[in-house]
Structure 1
């Protein structure tokens, strides 16, 4: 056994979950940069503390690695939402915090946006086969539904808010801010992507979603 193979085995034996997380982080970055077709398992292995052989052993094949990398990317955003502890906040504050978090998370995690873009190119085949991602997103919608219901009961939000549509609207602005930055900056300049520009856009995005949700009194 070579020294590299021995070190590889020790890493997996001593901290298998840590090594697995390292592989998934490297895979997200590689797939986001090169796409499903362009990414190479050899390159992912080179960025981690393990080997191509071990990646295949634990993830099955390249598609298995891609699917679990996609799951990890979705888990990260849903985990962040869970840490917000929105159930203890008044509905308006809870929705404000959720929209601001989504905007900030997407801006700080462009690899997540690229992974979702790649999955759309491939007609969501990996996502449709992943019960884990579906469960994560069902939980996200139920959390938003609970906020909408509380807001309606308190007379703050309008009746009949659709949490799926509201989730789409929150995601749309936050996603576009990252996915279309290169083309938008070339066409219109990059002022909007400065810290000040992003703070202003974040505030407007929160205001726009609240305006959709809030109950409007008849004149």
Structure 2
């Protein structure tokens, strides 16, 4: 097998193993997003990295192992972004708004994340189910919403019959569809909603719907 040095330096993979792994994951993410698990090839991934095919097998075992790590990295990135929002320091309505806005923007900026999740759904979530890390990461996402909802209820703002999981579903559904169905939607109805002003309007409406769902009816009416 070819043993191409990482970053153009002999033995580069030994000097910066984390950098090599990150490079492989970034290239593999794009390849899996474009071609799926079945269509992606280790040879193609290797050719676009700064390391060798041998090192891909060394770090990730095989193509399925690499795909599993790409899937974990995709979820880790979005959850790390949520962590940086520091929602616990915000009033509950503002925290919910910020989380919804972040999700919409993150998904819009990371179409490969959406495609990877779509591909994993084709595989019926089989690889996701194997990952303890993904379960922990996504449990943390619900815990954040649970904290927001608890503070909202304690303040007399939020309904008791809307759950954090339901709010997560609504935020994810609208943010996901905005990317996953962009090609078909725009070919049927035009591209206005996907221009900058169209995206801002959709994001604002999505946030209003999510917050309106969480608020008690009298709070929505300003009383």
Separation of aligned partners in 1, 2:129 and 2:173: 20
- Does the 8 Å contact 1:8/1:49 carry over to 2? no
The alignment yields a C-alpha RMSD, in angstroms, of 1.8
Instruction: Output the TM-score relative to the length of structure 1.
Output: 0.96
Q: SS where residue 158 of structure 1 aligns? A: coil
Find runs of 4+ consecutive structure 1 residues off by over 3 angstroms: 2-9
Separation of aligned partners in 1, 2:60 and 2:218: 55
- The alignment status of 1:30 with 2:31, answered yes or no, reads yes
1:123 Cα shift?
A: 0.4
Separation of aligned partners in 2, 1:174 and 1:96: 13
Tell which deviates more after alignment, 160-169 or 125-134. Answer: 160-169
1:3 Cα shift?
A: 8.2
- Does the 8 Å contact 2:5/2:13 carry over to 1? no
Q: SS where residue 73 of structure 2 aligns? A: helix
Q: Which digits, 9 at most, give the CA deviation of each residue in 1:151-201, with x for residues without a partner?
A: 000011111331111101100000000000000001100100000100000
Q: Which digits, 9 at most, give the CA deviation of each residue in 1:34-93, with x for residues without a partner?
A: 011000111111111111111011100000000000000000000000000000000000
Is the alpha carbon distance of 1:8 and 1:46 closer, same or farther for their aligned partners in structure 2, counting shifts above 3 Å? farther
Matches within 5 A, 1:33-182: 33-182=34-183
Q: Which digits, 9 at most, give the CA deviation of each residue in 1:17-37, with x for residues without a partner?
A: 011011001111100000110
Separation of aligned partners in 2, 1:180 and 1:44: 27
* Number of equivalences: 219
1:217 Cα shift?
A: 2.1
Separation of aligned partners in 2, 1:47 and 1:5: 13
Separation of aligned partners in 2, 1:65 and 1:3: 18
- Does the 8 Å contact 2:97/2:211 carry over to 1? yes
- Does the 8 Å contact 1:23/1:44 carry over to 2? yes
1:11 Cα shift?
A: 1.6
- Does the 8 Å contact 2:103/2:172 carry over to 1? yes
Separation of aligned partners in 1, 2:119 and 2:170: 21
Match of 1:13 in 2: 14
Separation of aligned partners in 2, 1:88 and 1:199: 25
Separation of aligned partners in 2, 1:51 and 1:29: 17
- Does the 8 Å contact 1:8/1:50 carry over to 2? no
Separation of aligned partners in 1, 2:43 and 2:107: 28
Instruction: Output the TM-score relative to the length of structure 2.
Output: 0.94
- Does the 8 Å contact 2:24/2:49 carry over to 1? yes
- Mind listing any 5+ residue stretches in structure 2 that lack a counterpart? none
Match of 1:215 in 2: 216
